[in-house]
A and B are shown apart, each in its own frame.
Chain A
Amino acid sequence: MRKALKPAEREKLLGTLYSFPMGIWFTVFFTVPLAIIILYSFMRRGLYGGVEFQFTLDAYKQMINPSFGKVLFRTLWISTFSTILCIFIAIPVGYAMAKSKYQTLLLFLIIIPFWTNSLIRIYAWISILSTEGFLNSVLIRLGLVKEGLHLIYNNGSVILVLVYMYLPFAILPLFTTIDKFDFFLLDAARDLGATKLESIIKVMFPNIKSGLSTAFIFTFIPIFGAYTVPLLVGGKDSTMIGNIIVDQVSKTRNWPLASAFSMILTVASLIGVFWMLASAQKEAAANKPKFTQQAHEQKVKAHHSRRHR
């Protein structure tokens, strides 16, 4: 060794060397852009797009507008409804997967549609649901209907496609937590006289809470910020908050308003994430901690101090 650094200094230097490239990258391409959005939401709108550097609450005032309120309300109910639907489907699916002998095959089958390009999947639904689409042509051939039904470009098709797109986001975390669950507990509950449903609700659900909250957040946040699905399969009355933001940036060129809407989305997502983390921590504290970050850090510290002795 050429230079003899004190262990603590060496550790600081190495940690910095390893981690700062990513830290700098995130600062430039993530923290700064977010900060700019926060800043712009308090600026005055520029004449030809952009902003004028003058503090104002105009953007937030413009948001209090019945037409935007309607979109915000619609975004909320569509995302809540689709998320709940996803979770209700994902619970039995995750349960069946966790109990199955063919887990890898089943994961494979869930992941393939999930990884297939999202636009291809949306396009597939358009070709199924459109007036001259697959479903209508089948219905007409079977003689069930005479003319193609209007199945697309309404809130129903938006919800259907959203559920289709984000269902795996709910299934995967639920599968992961249910897979760790000790199924003998259910047998024990049954032996003590509970019905199958009772044992699942009273014994399994409390044990998979973290999976439920992860599934909820990871489904709700992307649906809440959805842009392509309402754009491509929604009608005039299915615009969501994501579409408004994009329109404000590209069409109206009202950057402060777009930034203010983005702030709402960001804050809502962050609240959700912190709620999820808090509930996961509570559960970790309640259960016997098998592996926690803290325990791990202590382990690392112990290693280091042993070396430095």
Chain B
Amino acid sequence: MNYHPYSKKKHISFSDSMLVLTILFLFIPLFVVTFFSFNSAKGMQWEQASLIWYKTLIFNSPSLWLAFKNSIIIALTSSVSATALGSLAAIGITWYRFKGRSYITTISYLPMVLPEVIIGISMLIFFSAVKIRLGMFTIFAAHTTFNLPFVFMMVQARLDEFDYSTIEAARDLGANERQALFKVVVPAIMPAILSSFLMCTTMSLEDFVITFFVSGPGSGTLPLYVYSMIRYGVSPVINALSFVMILGTMLIAFTFRRFLKTVAASS
């Protein structure tokens, strides 16, 4: 008897067809903008293939490039600070008992679960209450804040698998705390540190809502620029920009491929 409940006739199951339809649903909008980024006309009527919008994007959009520069600066600085603070905190929380431990653990999960509008508004009100001018610094602070929980979680998950006795061995062999940290712990959790750094950069480049509240004149990031393009005059340059950004996302996801399951579990 070769009976098996799931190896029945070759018809496509409901769940498989849902999967295919969902992936199509997720990709169709991306295909549409990509397709029309190569259209010479302005509207949604196809005229002929052209790279004119890519030319405009590269050579004739100075304010876009300024926004891009701001985005990169903020993404890098906030990712560095979030990765450093979050990784250290994860080490402290995982291995040591001390006063304030449960406060820090609880508070580090909350920014992840509250709606973005709340984080944005509360920071805006806070900055104006303590009279900090909105600009690059406030965006940096906000991005570090919403990135920290992810670093903390990803590094903590990695530390959970790490055997503490390795450190004891290092210390028994005469390593001091700093040597044990940099020569044993950091190399061991490096994959988690790197992937959370990449995750931070992605989220920072992506964020619109929180940045929208805490940005000041001249500190607009790329998503803010895209927003103003959507709101106040759509130009097909945005199609070209979209395709470039989709390619960027694919590149990041590809470098991430080994961690995709961890990412799925942590989000």
Contacts and interface: CB of A to CB of B under 8 A. Distances in A.
Q: Do A and B bind each other?
A: yes
Interface stretch (B48-56, B57-65, B93-101): B93-101
Contact of A172 (B29, B101, B264): B264
B88 interface: yes
Nearest to A90: B22
Contacts, number: 307
Nearest to B109: A273
A111 B25 CA distance: 13
Contacts of B86: 22
Main secondary structure, interface of B, reads helix
For chain B, the bracket of interface size reads 35 or more
A123 B5 contact: no
Given A37-B121, A224-B115, A19 B93 contact: yes
A203 to B, nearest CB: 13
Interface in B197-231: 202, 205-206, 208-209, 213, 222-223, 226-227, 230-231
Contacts of B264: 107, 111, 172-173, 175-176
Main secondary structure, interface of A, reads helix
A20 B99 CA distance: 10
Nearest to A125: B29
Given A124-B242, A266-B118, A115 B206 contact: yes
Nearest 9 interchain pairs by C-beta: A225-B115, A18-B92, A15-B96, A19-B92, A15-B98, A124-B29, A22-B89, A33-B126, A33-B122
18 contacts: A12-B97, A14-B92, A15-B97, A21-B85, A23-B89, A25-B145, A96-B16, A118-B208, A123-B33, A124-B32, A125-B29, A164-B29, A225-B118, A249-B124, A259-B125, A265-B115, A265-B117, A303-B164
Interface of B: 4-6, 13-16, 18-19, 22-23, 25-30, 32-33, 36, 43-45, 85-86, 88-89, 91-101, 103-104, 107-108, 110-111, 113-119, 121-126, 128-129, 141-142, 144-145, 148, 152, 160, 164-165, 168, 176-177, 202, 205-206, 208-209, 213, 222-223, 226-227, 230-231, 234, 238-239, 241-242, 245-246, 249-250, 252-254, 256-257, 260-261, 263-265, 267
